[in-house]
Homo-oligomer: A and B are copies of this chain.
Amino acid sequence: MKRNFLYTELSNNIATLIKNGVLKEGDRLPSVRMLCTEHGISMNTAKRVFLELEAQSLIESKPQSGYFVSRLPYKKLPLAQVSSPSLINGNQEPEELIHKIYANMGNTDLTFFSIGAPADQLLPLAKLNKEIILATRSLSHSGTAYEPLQGNEKLRRMIATRSLTWGGNFDENDLVTTAGGMNALSFCMMALSKPGDTIAMESPCYSGILQLARSLGLKVIELPTHPITGIEIDALKKVVSKINLCLLVPNFNTPLGSCMPDEHKKEVVALLAKHGVPLIEDDVYGDLYFGAQRPKCCKSFDAGGTVLWCSSISKTLAPGYRVGWIAPGKYKEQILKLKLVHAISSTTITQEAVANFLKTGRYENHLRKLRQTLQYNYQQYIDTIAEYFPEGTKTSRPQGGLALWVEFSKEINTTILFERALKQNISISPGRMFTLQNQFENCMRLSLGLPWSETLKQKLKLLGRLAGS
């Protein structure tokens, strides 16, 4: 069903050359200009070819030198499978498992491959502290007063400005702030559903989102999801007339790290709009792209205002600040009312501090560094896994974000591995967390948000040894 655009054809050809070993690790690719001349295409098309290949982590750009075949050992580590959940209402909540994982969150002796946010060594703590102090001084009541219902205006203006890079085209009135990203998703789900309704999601999917839907009495349909391109649109087509709501994390979702190509985003938005199904888009990882350019969002293609774009700074800056937001499209009044009755307002000081941090441009600098670190970690993880993990291990190919999905051969059970690793002070996220069905028992998620070190490498090696024994 995928459309064969000129640039995808060309990029597929080059991808095949790389995967077949015709083009080798470190090989230099032709320049954009050369590609234009050779194939008689425009500069724009040539650029998109490279962006596409970069998004698939097949090539990487080096400043001033051009594009090179990246050094990922693909031959040793095959791609994880496309998931194949049943298109039914899943209700096998892995509650006990999740409870166990959270119960160990306070234990400072553990190595948290299970953590869903960047470690604080990767965050600009001193600069953030400064912004907090400035906020108490500059806010008219030192931040003790309620914020306006819609949220800090400066913050909303900054988010609106940043959204221009991916076609958000908001102004501050299009946005409502929330107490973090989950709170944003919670308001959206509450506004657009009633108990007994059906919601479609990716599979595997972040456990918090599954729990939220179940807690609101929703039926959950998990969609087959490709580790590189996200949900299978054909599967969505099969169920679209039966669902009331859809929630997707199109950019670098956890645990897969997949990124829906623009054409997929466009097609999904059109399909859902045609059937009157609102789309909650969780873009909390969107700024953590490994490629050259921030990917677009489903919201970029939302003509009718039926996409609710949600994001936060919890995955990039400071989860503890509880700063998130929604661009709710035509559902703004419902969202505002829910915020009023459930929360009144968000924390005044932290919203102001983040607004100012965004305003200084420090956020862009920080993001640039964070992206480099995450991508570097990803390479180290892949190298270590290729060397020390059992035969038959496969992985996802995250194009951004904080998560790497590891798929073992069928006989390895990660719920058991979780228990064994915990005894060695290692915490992982077993695959079974990320679904309401009985699947992913041989998978796990590893966080890329830890600072790489020899100790971390040893822990990862030990984890591989535990899995294989």
Contact = CB atoms under 8 A, between A and B. Distances in A.
A169 interface: no
A404 interface: no
Interface stretch (A40-48, A143-151, A428-436): A143-151
A186 interface: yes
Given A145-B320, A195-B195, A322-B347, A340 B211 contact: yes
A460 interface: no
B106 A125 contact: no
Interface in A91-139: 102, 105-106, 117, 120, 123, 125-126, 128-129, 132-133, 136-137
Contacts of A217: 194
Contact of A319 (B145, B179, B208, B337): B145
B125 A341 contact: no
B337 A320 contact: no
B102 A149 contact: yes
Interface in A290-347: 317-322, 337-338, 340-347
B343 A143 contact: no
Contacts of A343: 179-180, 182-183, 186, 322
A421 to B, nearest CB: 22
A256 to B, nearest CB: 21
Given A106-B148, A129-B142, A319-B145, A341 B136 contact: no
A396 interface: no
A341 B143 contact: no
A127 to B, nearest CB: 10
Nearest to A217: B194
A340 B145 CA distance: 26
Nearest to A98: B340
A320 B195 contact: no
A193 to B, nearest CB: 12
Given A144-B320, A320-B143, A347 B350 contact: yes
Interface of A: 102, 105-106, 117, 120, 123, 125-126, 128-129, 132-133, 136-137, 141-149, 179-180, 182-183, 186, 194-195, 208, 211-212, 215, 217, 317-322, 337-338, 340-350
> Which 10 residue pairs of A and B lie closest in terms of their CB atoms, listed nearest first?
A320-B348, A144-B318, A120-B141, A347-B347, A186-B342, A212-B341, A129-B136, A125-B142, A211-B341, A322-B347
